[in-house]
Amino acid sequence: MYETLAKRTSTLVIDGRAVAGERGTLLVIDPALGEPFAECPSASSAQLDAAVAAANRAFAQWQHSSCEERRALLLKIADRIEHNAPELAEIIVREQGKPLALAQMEVGGAVAWTRATAALELPVEVIEDSPTKRIELHRRPLGVVGSITPWNWPLMIAVWHIMPALRAGNTVVIKPSELTPLNTLRLVELIAEVAPPGVVNVVAGGGALGRDMSGHAGIRKIVFTGSTPTGQDIMRNAAGTLKRLTLELGGNDAGIVLPGADIDAVAEGVFQSAFLNMGQTCAALKRLYVHESQYEQMCTRLAAIAARQKVGNGLEEGVSFGPIQNRDQFELVCELVDDARAAGARILCGGEPLPGKGYFYPPTIVADITDGTRLVDEEQFGPVLPVIRYATVDEAVLRANASDNGLGGSVWSSDIEQARAVAARLECGTVWINGHAEVLPHCPFGGCKMSGFGVEFGLEGLLEYTRPQLFNINRPAP
């Protein structure tokens, strides 16, 4: 299995053709081995220009495609992804690190999301319909959409960007993270088998390409998922061409367990939503506030669940916990836990990287820690959860909101009405009650504060790929 992938030559796709990168190749590292296993083409800025030009040529036709044509294309793409699911899942494990079952879920999610996006309707709103006038609000596509994706859920996020763009009649140039480019290169190859040339193009390479995209005069919108500083840089670079932006940035989501919660019932859900994808999920639960009366009980339960995880190479049978995706993130996690330890925190389990070259860090629960510590105040984006004691619910809400981020939050309780009242006070885009980190294709998702703006998914997400056009029709006198 390894050999097949290593020998496979990945290419860019520009104007429907597979092309090599003009800047040679970049090495792609397997985080479980801590060493390269494949190469990825590196695109030049001339190739980015060619991709944008191809996407603009394709837009001339695709913008006029009918609803049925767009829907049919998405359904064909979903079939191509589904047909190639085992290969895509294997690529994801090798370059991203997650366990195979989770990679299979990512591919399954990509198929489901593509089909759900195909089913969305773009409505024409009739604002006035009188004997003298009819006013209709139509939605038109924008043009070329530039998609810049991260390394945590690379295939899923590529699909989240590409499919609504196409469904609304736009064309796309996508740039995956240089850390996890291979699944997206393969995805676009599959798309190119069924889409008109130039409708979806892929360029790969480093962050400089992303910067060029942000300022590119031929791109009308950037959809970006990644860190807040990069989102800010994109916004600055996009200003010159007044691009529309959807920015889905970092989060430091708080979960509040209300007094009297059934700890045994909620602990598993808390653990899974904090450690989803080894904690490398924008809307994972990243700070847990537990009432002092149940603090020790929750800590003990979480540590017991952590101890059950089997850490290892995601391709191995029975592994439930993979490596951290890249060395920088791995080092950040080590640093944050060491800092917490030095500040007097209690490490209940994990707390040290595993020996070897892979970026393995076991699930780590940190107790006796509070706000003002780096692990609580910063986004750890990795397999470590700080558990923070609180005395009153008002205090917990205040501390949960004392963050620049505002992506998600959660409240855990058997009393739904009480949980709902606390939920309404949280400053974030989504509040889950007795859950966290669940995103759905029919529900708008996005953050506030420094977690970005704009939403993805559902009708509201689709509308972000359109501009309004008003028809103001004066009827002739009878």
184 binds ligand NDP (CB under 6 A): no
Angle at 76 between CA 71 and CA 80, to 5 degrees: 145
Give the phi and the psi of residue 439 in degrees, each rounded to 5: -115, 145
Q: Give the binding range for ligand NDP (CB under 6 A) out of 79-87, 247-255, 426-434, 454-462.
A: 247-255
Q: Give the binding range for ligand NDP (CB under 6 A) out of 30-38, 115-123, 125-133, 177-185.
A: 177-185
430 binds ligand NDP (CB under 6 A): no
# residues contacting ligand NDP (CB under 6 A) = 27
246 binds ligand NDP (CB under 6 A): no
Q: How far is the CB of 401 from ligand NDP (least distance, A)?
A: 20
329 binds ligand NDP (CB under 6 A): yes
Give the phi and the psi of residue 165 in degrees, each rounded to 5: -60, -50
Would residue 302 be called left, alpha or beta, if left means φ above 0 and alpha means ψ between -120 and 50 degrees?
Answer: alpha
Task: Give catalytic status of residue 121 as yes or no.
Answer: no
**CA–CA separation, 179 and 150 (whole Å):** 8
Q: How far is the CB of 469 from ligand NDP (least distance, A)?
A: 30
Which two three-digit tokens encode residue 140? 């038109």
30 binds ligand NDP (CB under 6 A): no
Q: Give the binding range for ligand NDP (CB under 6 A) out of 171-179, 261-269, 271-279, 469-477.
A: 171-179
Residues 84/129, Cβ–Cβ less than 8 Å:
no
- Among 196, 207, 215, 259, contact with ligand NDP (rule: CB under 6 A): 207
Which two three-digit tokens encode residue 87? 């290969």
- Among 117, 152, 309, 364, contact with ligand NDP (rule: CB under 6 A): 152
Q: Which residues of 388-403 are buried (b: 16+ CB within 10 A; e: fewer)?
A: bbbeebeebbebbeeb
Cα torsion 277, 165, 243, 178 to 10°: value is 40
Nearer CB in complex with ligand NDP: 395/404: 404
Angle at 203 between CA 201 and CA 205, to 5 degrees: 170
User: In this structure, which amino acid lies at residue 347?
Assistant: I
148 binds ligand NDP (CB under 6 A): yes
Residue 409 belongs to what H/E stretch? strand 408-412
- Among 250, 351, 408, 429, contact with ligand NDP (rule: CB under 6 A): 250
109 binds ligand NDP (CB under 6 A): no
- Among 104, 170, 183, 230, contact with ligand NDP (rule: CB under 6 A): 230
Nearer CB in complex with ligand NDP: 197/207: 207
**Cβ-defined contacts of 214-217 (< 8 Å, 24+):** 214/146, 214/148, 214/238, 214/243, 215/240, 215/241, 216/48, 216/49, 216/52, 216/146, 216/241, 217/241
The active-site residue out of 248, 379, 456, 464 is: 248
Task: Give catalytic status of residue 282 as yes or no.
Answer: yes
Nearer CB in complex with ligand NDP: 38/249: 249
- Among 160, 381, 457, 465, contact with ligand NDP (rule: CB under 6 A): 381
373 binds ligand NDP (CB under 6 A): no
Which two three-digit tokens encode residue 86? 């085992």
Q: Give the binding range for ligand NDP (CB under 6 A) out of 29-37, 86-94, 138-146, 246-254.
A: 246-254
16 binds ligand NDP (CB under 6 A): no
179 binds ligand NDP (CB under 6 A): yes
User: In this structure, which amino acid lies at residue 447?
Assistant: G
Residue linked to tokens 């409708």: 199
Q: How far is the CB of 185 from ligand NDP (least distance, A)?
A: 13
**CA–CA separation, 470 and 455 (whole Å):** 23
* Footprint on this chain of ligand NDP (rule: CB under 6 A): 148-152, 175, 177-179, 206-207, 210-211, 214, 225-227, 230, 233-234, 248-250, 282, 329, 379, 381
Active site residues: 248, 282
